[in-house]
């Protein structure tokens, strides 16, 4: 079982930056084989994958809408996974969720791939 706790959400003006953190804990899994990801869900919209990182080799994946602006990173099992969000836009406003899977199988930004989810942290970007 994996427990995920996010932090770092808040309100910012367009063009600003925020960094989200996600700490994973639990037992019965090999952290190095995990994929950590961030998803977001805006009001009235479906949840979408934003960024993902394979812990084993640090390969990263991004949605087209955030490429060049967001960076996902993770140093080691003792540190949080981060989502650095720069040049934020009003359309980035959403609830952001950290997610984890213990084995890499399908597409890393596909919601159905992930078994473990955090409670979410809200990001509001004003124009």
Tokens of 45: 């919209």
The answer on pLDDT for 103 being more than 90 is no
Q: Measured over all CA atoms, what is the biggest interatomic distance in the chain, rounded to whole angstroms?
A: 45
Q: What is the mean pLDDT of residues 92-103?
A: 95
Q: What is the pLDDT at residue 105? A: 80
State the CB neighbour count (10 A cutoff) for residue 47: 16
Cα 32 to Cα 14: distance, rounded to the nearest angstrom: 36
**Range from 28-37, 38-47, 78-87, 89-98 carrying the lowest mean pLDDT:** 28-37
Cβ atoms < 10 Å from Cβ of 76: 8
Q: What is the pLDDT of residues 3-12, one digit of tens each?
A: 999 999 999 9
Segment 72-88 shows an average pLDDT of: 88
């Amino acid at each position: 079982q994996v427990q995920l706790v996010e932090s770092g959400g808040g309100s910012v003006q367009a063009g600003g930056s925020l960094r989200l953190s996600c700490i994973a804990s639990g037992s019965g899994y090999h952290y190095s084989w995990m994929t950590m990801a961030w998803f977001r869900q805006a009001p009235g919209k479906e949840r979408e994958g934003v960024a993902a990182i394979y812990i084993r080799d640090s390969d990263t994946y991004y949605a087209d809408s955030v490429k060049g602006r967001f960076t996902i990173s993770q140093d080691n099992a003792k540190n949080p996974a981060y989502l650095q969000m720069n040049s934020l836009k009003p359309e980035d406003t959403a609830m952001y969720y950290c997610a984890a899977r213990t084995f890499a199988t399908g597409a890393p930004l596909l919601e159905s791939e992930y078994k473990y989810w955090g409670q979410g942290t809200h990001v509001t970007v004003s124009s």
